[in-house]
Amino acid sequence: MTRAVVIGVGNALRGDDAAGLLVARGLSGRGIENVHESSGETASLMELWEGADVLLLADAAQSGAEPGTVLRFDGSETPLPEAFPPCSTHAFGLAEAVELARSLGTLPPRVIVFGIEGRSFDHGASPGPEIVAGVAEASRLIEEELKR
């Protein structure tokens, strides 16, 4: 049986950076199993996805796209695009965590990363309406991936 893990990454206190966490909370609230929230700390992420066959990650992004746009990256066999590392609002980005796991041989066989384009990452801000719409779209796309 395939074991899928979903991880929403973010910081609830930094505006649009909460996007990944909101995805995880929404999916968990719909009864989807193996859904986790993470601050993005590398060792914690790697522990959460240990033993997974499919890894689906959601995080806020800063790529220059319109706020709320959902970006999909397949990190299964190739590194995430160069545009992705600066998208992460964490000191050590998801791309680096994925590559570290790949180099250690602990990366799940299938890895899909959903970036939700953010605009405001100010401390104490709330996610904007475009982000809420992006969270809904990313959640829908993750549910589709889980059905594969």
Quick check: pTM over 0.85? yes
What angle separates helix 94-104 from helix 42-49, to the nearest 10 degrees?
A: 60
> How confident is the model over 15-61, as pLDDT tens digits?
999 999 999 999 999 989 999 999 888 889 999 999 999 999 999 98
SS3 call for 16: helix
Asked whether the beta carbons of 81 and 74 are under 8 A apart, the reply is no
Quickly count: other Cβ atoms within 10 Å of residue 33's Cβ. 11
> How confident is the model over 100-148, as pLDDT tens digits?
999 999 999 999 999 999 988 888 888 999 999 999 999 999 999 999 8
SS3 call for 40: coil
Give CA–CA dist 36/136, Å, rounded.
17
Residue 38 exposure: Cα atoms within 13 Å on the Cβ side? 28
Give CA–CA dist 45/52, Å, rounded.
12
| pLDDT at position 91 over 90 | no
Asked whether the beta carbons of 53 and 112 are under 8 A apart, the reply is no
Could you give all domains of the chain from N- to C-terminal order, each with its CATH number? 4-121+137-146 (3.40.50.1450)
Asked whether the beta carbons of 59 and 116 are under 8 A apart, the reply is yes
Q: Given this model, what pLDDT does residue 85 score?
A: 42
Asked whether the beta carbons of 132 and 100 are under 8 A apart, the reply is no
Residues belonging to the chain = 148
